[in-house]
Structure 1
Amino acid sequence: MSSLFTLLAAASALALGVGATATKAQAADVKSVVLVHGGFVDGSGWQGVYDILTKDGYDVTIVQNPTTSLADDVAVTRRAIAAAPGQVVLVGHSYGGVVVSEAGTDPKVAAVVYIAAFAPDAGESVASLIANPAPGAPVPPILPPVDGFLFLDKAKFAASFAADVRPDIASFMANSQVPWGMAALEGKVTAPAWKAKPSWYLVATEDKMIPPEAQRAMANRAGATVSEAKGSHSIYVSKPQAVAAVIENAAKGAQTAAQ
């Protein structure tokens, strides 16, 4: 009789152990991705990346941040993080890197990914990061603000922002620009997520908006896992496979770190 109880106790302990292991694996499984767009555009440019990630089994949320102020954009992003199932890989393109740097300290965020993005330190903003461009660096064709909002010169949009995007799509992007608020440009990060979370960075080597050397410098400062791909500032549109690969590597890397 005592043998039976011993066997049952052992079986129960084994079941509890297996259950705990399964729970740990489930907790470490990072399958949610939140994508944050940058200035002058909306979230529709993420469609190619979205299609790849969802096909590979990820739950993907695309944030339609209003780009009116950093505080507003962070609030929208945090709501998306809260609604996503489980742990999240938080991804930002361009100015979206500022948003994810501020919002990425959320406990649900397992990793932060920068796609040709600003990766500011505490107290920095897009305005401060672009204040002193290196000699010879390309100057984005930003028009003077109107009522506190910025646009890119439509005639120069493709060359600066989307040189490797199909011409009809680049033209559509130029003519469907989202006003970028000066309050967003000047919004300062308080505690950058890359100081607390593992980060990944994809450098777009043909970028005419954020110089590749500036991207590399920010990525190295953040201690990010860095990869590079030939592409314009709109690499998330033109090279969705390269972008999705970095995001999936971040999900797997964050999962491994959590185990």
Structure 2
Amino acid sequence: MVRKMSGLLALAIASAPILPAKAAEKPFSVVLVHGAFVDASGWRGVFDRLTKDGYEVLVVQNPTITLKDDVTITQQAIAKAKHPVILVGHSYGGSVITEAGNDAKVQSLVYLAAFAPDVGESVAKLAEEPVPGEPQAPLLPPTNGFLIVDPAKFSAAFAADVDAQTTAFMAAAQVPWGLNAVGGIITNAAWKSKPSYYMVATEDHMVPPTAQRRMAKRANAKTQEIKSSHAVMMSHPDEVAAFIEGADGSTR
């Protein structure tokens, strides 16, 4: 009986699937900050890839009512990180990381189709400068102090290269953007003192690509362009994850 059990055990071990080894933990943490009109669920693809590669990843869920509160919530996530932080912001999240990125734990900033205001600027101020020949975000007039994207135009403007079923839900499930977040003024721009990286989405219909290039240049950011809609982290998670990993400081 013992011999029979030993044989069955050996057979089970021999036939067990060989699982890939888990990547060694990286000495950096990544904090992901979403933008306006959406929540943090859009980071899922990027989160999966970064965690698989060994990064600790913290995902911020901002209410986007005031810039001050969003910065505070982001700073709380930075404080929880085990390692030096790569701070990533998409869209309005770029404004949040510009202020929150002054934290001593933050070692680099990554902007994804994002606003990168200077001291004294807000997203509202940057958005007041239209780019000839490039579309502006199709926002509806504010209601009770909040903005949303015209639901009928959301898919084409925000995520034209994401599947239609997903974008239809995103349009219906928009998180209203508070005017105190839109108009929040930057008091200390972290990109002035921290290494910065900027991914320009060339098919963006929310933040004009020309404006993205201008902000990236002003921040002296290492820049990469990608043919993508505004929702670059959803339509190109592999490329976005690789871009973020390039900001971990290991090659500098």
Above 0.5 in TM-score?
yes
Per the TM alignment, residue 232 of structure 1 is displaced from its structure 2 partner at its CA by 0.1
Check whether the contact 2:131–2:210 (CA below 8 A) recurs between aligned residues.
no
Per the TM alignment, residue 136 of structure 1 is displaced from its structure 2 partner at its CA by 2.6
Check whether the contact 1:30–1:255 (CA below 8 A) recurs between aligned residues.
no
2:92 to 91, 95, 102: 95
1:137 to 121, 130, 134: 134
Check whether the contact 2:60–2:74 (CA below 8 A) recurs between aligned residues.
yes
The equivalent of 1:219 in structure 2 is 216
User: Could you tell me how far apart the structure 1 residues matched to 2:186 and 2:151 are?
Assistant: 30
Same amino acid, percent of matched pairs? 59
1:153 to 141, 150, 155: 150
- Structure 1 outlier segments of 4+, above 4 Å: none
User: Could you tell me how far apart the structure 1 residues matched to 2:113 and 2:230 are?
Assistant: 6
- For the pair 1:242 / 2:235, whether they are aligned, the reply is no
User: Could you tell me how far apart the structure 2 residues matched to 1:136 and 1:184 are?
Assistant: 27
TM-score, normalising length from structure 1? 0.86
The equivalent of 2:200 in structure 1 is 203
TM-score, normalising length from structure 2? 0.88
Per the TM alignment, residue 139 of structure 1 is displaced from its structure 2 partner at its CA by 1.7
The answer to which structure has the higher helix fraction is 1
1:178 to 167, 175, 178: 175
- For the pair 1:125 / 2:125, whether they are aligned, the reply is no
How many pairs align?
227
The equivalent of 1:25 in structure 2 is none
- For the pair 1:57 / 2:54, whether they are aligned, the reply is yes
The equivalent of 1:164 in structure 2 is 161
The equivalent of 1:192 in structure 2 is 189
Q: Which amino acid aligns with 2:83?
A: G
The equivalent of 2:16 in structure 1 is none
Question: Secondary structure at the residue paired with 1:250?
Answer: coil
Per the TM alignment, residue 56 of structure 1 is displaced from its structure 2 partner at its CA by 0.3
